[in-house]
């Protein structure tokens, strides 16, 4: 017999369109859950949660709201979905870092506004399952029931505080009691949950995403290398000036591609390392990270503008905005040549240039920067980069 379960999850903003907002949500993770109202604990086995049928059942399920009394609408079906639906879960339901995750889209503007204000900051995942009574222990936690045949029904957006700190959203919070929200984040390095500031969690996600992007870029370049080597091999069997020239051109392209592939792999490893380091920060290091975040936002508002909203951005994205405004990269610089070291050097030079201009213009009135000033700071950035080798 199927029973309904309501569990909690987190979500973070991905993009905002004209009439929609898209988010990434954590639906569940394996482990033992406590259900006080049933006076028992239940195990969600990894093989059940990540089963193909379970993931398939969550595809396209409706996103709904709790009512004004913060009561869950219960099971959603064809008779009542019109009263509650504000969006839908996407089709890419998948396992990621030991969690069941998916993107979802909110089409209702009022709901998006309530998310932005911090009023709606958690997910409540409704799913049915067949309970199997069996006592056991999982990672030191005892349970009395195993959940099987897990099937998604809907996902609700709920106010903060409904289910405690483990369910807090990774997006901004406007709570006066929390200068920066704390979220429970599962680290890749040890598979354990750590309480870390939400803004740090956002940076971790960006770093991991960048690592995946660079890994994919390296793979594409490796495929191109194989293709070029095959072409060179084929042409080497032919004779003539035209084929010799084409071989030389291909060899030059091959060397460039190999260098770019190596750079992408090194950068991917570096981004992965940065993400792992953030996941295991100690309390004093977390405090330092929070202060650095606050300072970065202050710098961003001073350079980009007070009206700029940085709440949905990671530290890396804020730095990119500052660079774009204060000291853009040279127009002839390829994007794949912008390494982490180059970005940090450019950001440092952008801050120094902005400080110098502010000193010359203490009134705060924006003036036109001289082209040679930017040239000087780009040269300084280049020299700084060389010093780091």
Are 12 and 152 within one domain?
Answer: yes
Whether 152 and 267 map to the same domain: the answer is no
Average pLDDT in the 146-162 region?
79
One domain for residues 275 and 291: no
- Given a cut of 60, whether residue 65 has pLDDT beyond it is yes
In this structure, are 7 and 154 located in the same domain? yes
109: in domain: yes
Helix (H) or strand (E) holding 150: strand 141-159
pLDDT score at 362: 47
To the nearest 10°, the Cα dihedral for 347, 351, 353, 355? Answer: 180
pLDDT at 159: 76
pLDDT (tens digit per residue) in 317-347? 788 888 888 888 777 666 656 666 777 878 8
How many alpha carbons lie under 13 Å from residue 35 in its C-beta half-sphere?
18
Q: Tens digit of pLDDT for each residue in 371-385?
A: 444 444 444 444 444
**pLDDT value for 136:** 94
Q: What pLDDT was estimated at residue 51?
A: 94
**Are both 14 and 153 inside the same structural domain?**
yes
pLDDT computed for residue 162 by the predictor: 33
Shared domain for 139 and 212, answered yes or no, is no
Same domain, 34 and 156: yes
- The confidence score (pLDDT) of residue 155 equals 87
The verdict on 119 and 220 lying in the same domain is: no
Q: 134-143 pLDDT, tens per residue?
A: 999 998 999 9
- Are 87 and 6 members of one domain? yes
pTM of this structure: 0.42
Out of 131, 148, 168, a domain closes at 168
Give, for 106, the enclosing helix (H) or strand (E): strand 99-106
Strand partners, 123: 9, 157
**Is 266 domain-assigned?**
yes
Residue 357 in any domain: the answer is no
Which pLDDT belongs to residue 75? 63
pLDDT at 353: 78
User: Using CA atoms, how far apart are residues 169 and 166, in angstroms rounded to an integer?
Assistant: 9
* pLDDT at residue 286, rounded to an integer: 58
**63 falls within a domain:** yes
Q: Give the pLDDT confidence of 274-319 residue by residue, as tens digits.
A: 666 665 555 566 567 667 777 888 888 888 887 787 766 777 778 8
One domain, residues 154 and 211? no
* Number of domains the chain is built from: 3
Give pLDDT, residue 79: 66
Share of residues in the chain with pLDDT > 70 (%):
60
* CB distance 311 to 171 below 8 Å: yes
Instruction: Tell me: pLDDT of 366 over 50.
Output: no
Whether 271 and 298 map to the same domain: the answer is no
Question: Which residue segment(s) compose the domain that 253 sits in?
Answer: 196-280
Across the chain, what does the average pLDDT equal?
72
**Which of 36-50, 217-231, 253-267, 332-346 is predicted with the least confidence, judged by mean pLDDT?**
332-346
Average pLDDT over residues 96-122: 86
My answer on whether 143 and 265 are in the same domain is no
> C-alpha distances in angstroms, 197 versus 17, 182, 202, 248, 289?
27, 4, 9, 53, 9
Residue 177 lies in a domain: no
- Classify residue 251: in a domain, yes or no: yes
């Amino acid at each position: 017999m199927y029973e309904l379960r309501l569990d909690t999850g987190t979500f973070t903003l991905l993009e905002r369109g004209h009439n929609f907002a898209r988010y990434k949500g954590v639906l569940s993770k394996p482990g033992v859950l406590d259900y006080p109202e049933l006076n028992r604990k239940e195990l969600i086995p990894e093989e059940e949660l990540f089963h193909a049928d379970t993931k398939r059942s969550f595809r396209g399920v409706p996103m709904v709201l709790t009512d004004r009394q913060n009561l869950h609408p219960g099971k959603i079906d064809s008779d009542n979905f019109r009263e509650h639906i504000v969006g839908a879960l996407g089709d890419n339901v998948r396992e990621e870092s030991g969690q069941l995750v998916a993107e979802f889209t909110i089409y209702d503007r009022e709901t998006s506004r309530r998310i932005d204000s911090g009023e709606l900051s958690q997910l409540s995942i409704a799913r049915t399952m067949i309970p199997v009574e069996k006592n056991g222990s999982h990672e030191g936690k005892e349970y009395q029931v195993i959940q099987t045949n897990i099937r998604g029904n809907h996902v609700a957006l709920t106010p903060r505080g409904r289910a405690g700190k483990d369910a807090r959203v990774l997006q901004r919070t406007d709570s006066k009691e929390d200068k920066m929200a704390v979220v429970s984040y599962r680290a890749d390095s040890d598979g354990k949950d750590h309480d870390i500031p939400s803004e740090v969690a956002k940076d971790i996600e960006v770093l991991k995403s960048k690592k995946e992007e660079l890994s994919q870029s390296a793979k594409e370049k490796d495929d191109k290398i194989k293709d070029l080597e095959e072409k060179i091999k084929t042409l080497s069997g032919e004779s003539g000036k035209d084929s010799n020239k084409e071989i030389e051109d291909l060899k030059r392209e091959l060397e460039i591609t190999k260098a770019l592939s190596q750079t992408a792999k090194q950068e991917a490893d570096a981004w992965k390392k940065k993400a792992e380091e953030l996941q295991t920060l100690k309390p004093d290091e977390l405090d330092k990270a929070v202060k650095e975040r606050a300072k970065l936002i202050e710098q961003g508002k001073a350079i980009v503008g007070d009206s700029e909203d940085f709440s949905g951005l990671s530290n890396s994205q804020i730095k990119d905005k500052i660079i774009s405004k204060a000291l853009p990269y040279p127009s002839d610089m390829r994007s794949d040549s912008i390494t982490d070291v180059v970005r940090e050097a450019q950001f440092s030079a952008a801050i120094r240039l902005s400080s110098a201009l502010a000193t010359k213009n203490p009134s705060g009135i924006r003036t036109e920067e001289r082209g040679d000033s930017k040239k000087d700071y780009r040269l300084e950035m280049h020299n700084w980069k060389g010093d780091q080798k």
